[in-house]
Amino acid sequence: MGRLQNSEGGFGGDADGKARRRPCGLPCGMDISYPPDAAVYREKVQAFLGEHLPADWRGLGALGHAEAGEFTKSWRSTLSANGYLALSWPKEFGGAGLTPLESVVLAEEFAKAGVPTGGSNDGFGISMLGNTMLKWGTDEQKRHYLPRVLSGEDLWCQGYSEPAAGSDLGNLGCRAELDGDEWIINGQKIWTSGGHTANHIFVLARTDSTAQKHRGISFLLVDMRQPGVEVRPIKMMSGESEFNEVFFSDARCRRGDVLGEVNGGWAVAMTLLGNERGAGAAVNAIGFRVELNRVTELARQRGLTQDPHIRQRLARAHTSVEIMRYAGYKALTSFLNGKQPGADASTGKLFWSQYHQEITELAVDILGADAMTPTGQGPHGAFRFDAPGAPNDSANWVGVFYNARAGTIYAGTSQVQKGIVGEQILGLPKEPRADGGPWNEIPGHG
Ligand SMILES: Cc1cc2nc3c(=O)[nH]c(=O)nc-3n(C[C@H](O)[C@H](O)[C@H](O)COP(=O)(O)OP(=O)(O)OC[C@H]3O[C@@H](n4cnc5c(N)ncnc54)[C@H](O)[C@@H]3O)c2cc1C
């Protein structure tokens, strides 16, 4: 990989990872052009989009909610028929088997076109579970589960958080005990996104309460279509019910439905979180740029582009999106060099989620009193920016503004990301812990 790198041998640093700086303190010159293979593959993806999208396509956001739902379903079938689902999975498991560079180029082109990369629960099934299963799963698990994820037969959701175990996930108390050839599961999960549209859930459960808290956890694969699993939707402040509580009362899964080792689920869980936090580094800036253009247009429509305060905030937003673009290239170079996102992903997560609150506050300020009586079409999803093509309706911006509040909470809160950056990047002393002993001896457990 000769491009997308620092011209002297590594984007933003030496081979040993240390940043080289000019006397002025700025990093050395960078070559951010893509290698020639990327251009060839980009044309192929653009041709595919040109062939399969309507001539007047403006992005998913331009469709009404029902229409967008229908489009997403049929688009998923188109992706599946053309081998464009599960980009990085090997072909033997039905994936596209793309190189890292090809998958990034495809993700970029899809983001620019405003088309989804899969269906409603595919983020959990393909990106999170599938990629984790490829690393930790047995051959039997891969052969059983992966084709079902691709066919859309199995729709997954993530059963990590509990009322007393969010940031401190290792504190979880949902239990599983072996009974012959089955695990019996009892306990509760919360904030389960897409739990109402899923039929399978990957569950972190405590399988040894006498071990230290991170050591007695197993990663279970559970079919939700059984009497012992109850899903209760939670209403969000936007009025939508995108996430849920999930209750397990003597729910069951097979003894072999453990991903990784029994009591070794913490390492599996962390692989999956790495995928979740690192995702999108390369395409984030594309989506945020489209969104910022929409805010700028909103300011124009409202006659506020000459207002010095609005101009200043727009300029700050522009700078932030450019920072995300260059940080995305840096993450991309690491990715193309085969490195998994580590603590660096926390910097990106922290930055985009805080930026998103600022830009959506600006949109609501531009709307002024209209934001108090929102009209028009609300956003399509509950995460990050709305799909390209979305209208500049007040209901849209108020919805995205509400959703942005959650951005600094899900996938690890900002405070937790700062802790990771402090300890793992800056080398600050570790947070003192008083819970190093067996889980069942921590006050409140047992
Ligand atoms: C929209 C949305 C979707 C979600 N989807 C899912 C899902 O699909 N599956 C799933 O399992 N979970 C999901 N979650 C849950 C999410 O992962 C948790 O909300 C998150 O980890 C925070 O946990 P908590 O809500 O229990 O807050 P707590 O952990 O109770 O934190 C409360 C406050 O204390 C702060 N805090 C906690 N610990 C520290 C620390 N060590 N240092 C400094 N400050 C600290 C936090 O930053 C926060 O401000 C979702 C959440 C949201 C908002």
User: What is the rounded CA–CA span in Å between residue 397 and residue 364?
Assistant: 7
pLDDT at position 405 is 96
CA of 202 to the centre of ligand 1 (A): 18
pLDDT at position 433 is 80
Which residue would you say has higher pLDDT here, 281 or 1?
A: 281
Residue 9 has pLDDT above 70, yes or no: no
With the most atoms of ligand 1 within 8 angstroms of its CB, the residue from 409, 420, 431, 433 to mutate is: 409
pLDDT at position 20 is 44
Least confident of 24-28, 280-284, 357-361, 394-398: 24-28
Query: Would the CB of 193 count as within 6 Å of ligand 1?
Result: yes
Q: What is the mean pLDDT of the chain?
A: 90
CA of 240 to the centre of ligand 1 (A): 19
423 part of the active site: no
pLDDT at position 29 is 61
pLDDT at position 10 is 34
Give the residue-averaged pLDDT of 46-73: 96
Residue 216 has pLDDT above 90, yes or no: yes
CA of 164 to the centre of ligand 1 (A): 10
CA of 368 to the centre of ligand 1 (A): 31
Reported as a pLDDT band with limits 50, 70 and 90, residue 74 is very high
Domain boundaries, the chain: 1-32, 36-119, 156-265, 280-425
% of the chain at pLDDT higher than 90: 74
Which residue would you say has higher pLDDT here, 330 or 66?
A: 66
Bridge partners (DSSP) listed for residue 176:
185
User: What is the rounded CA–CA span in Å between residue 194 and residue 155?
Assistant: 9
Query: Would the CB of 164 count as within 6 Å of ligand 1?
Result: no
Give the residue-averaged pLDDT of 252-256: 98
The reply to whether 156-265 shares the fold of 36-119 is no
Out of 3.20.20.70, 2.40.110.10, 3.40.30.10, 3.40.309.10, select the CATH number for domain 156-265.
2.40.110.10
- What is the CATH architecture assignment of 280-425? Up-down Bundle (1.20)
Residue 25 has pLDDT above 70, yes or no: no
- The three-state DSSP-derived secondary structure of the chain is CCCCEECCCCCCCCCCCCCCECCCCCECCEECCCCHHHHHHHHHHHHHHHHHCCCCCCCHHHCCHHHHHHHHHHHHHHHHHCCCCCCCCCHHHCCCCCCHHHHHHHHHHHHHHCCCCCCCCHHHHHHHHHHHHHHHCCHHHHHHHHHHHHHCCCCEEEECCECCECCCHHHCCCEEEEECCEEEEEEEECCCCCCCCCCEEEEEEECCCCCECCCCEEEEEEECCCCCEEEEEECCCCCCCCEEEEEEEEEEEECCCEECCCCEHHHHHHHHHHHHHHCCHHHHHHHHHHHHHHHHHHHHHCCCCCCHHHHHHHHHHHHHHHHHHHHHHHHHHHHHCCCCCCCHHHHHHHHHHHHHHHHHHHHHHHHHHHHHCCCCCCCCCCCCCCCCCCCCCHHHHHHHHHHHHHHCCCCCCHHHHHHHHHHHHCCCCCCCCCCCCEHHHCCCCC
Looking at 276, 297, 322, 431, which residue is catalytic?
276
pLDDT, tens digit (0-9, with 9 covering 90-100), for 132-184: 999 999 999 999 999 999 999 999 999 999 999 999 999 999 999 999 999 99
Query: Would the CB of 174 count as within 6 Å of ligand 1?
Result: no
Residue 12 has pLDDT above 60, yes or no: no
pLDDT at position 330 is 85
Give the residue-averaged pLDDT of 191-208: 98
Out of 1.10.540.10, 3.30.750.24, 1.20.1260.120, 1.10.1740.10, select the CATH number for domain 36-119.
1.10.540.10
pLDDT, tens digit (0-9, with 9 covering 90-100), for 349-361: 999 999 999 999 9
pLDDT at position 7 is 35
Reported as a pLDDT band with limits 50, 70 and 90, residue 366 is very high
pLDDT at position 211 is 95
Residue 120 has pLDDT above 90, yes or no: no
Query: Would the CB of 197 count as within 6 Å of ligand 1?
Result: no
pLDDT at position 274 is 72
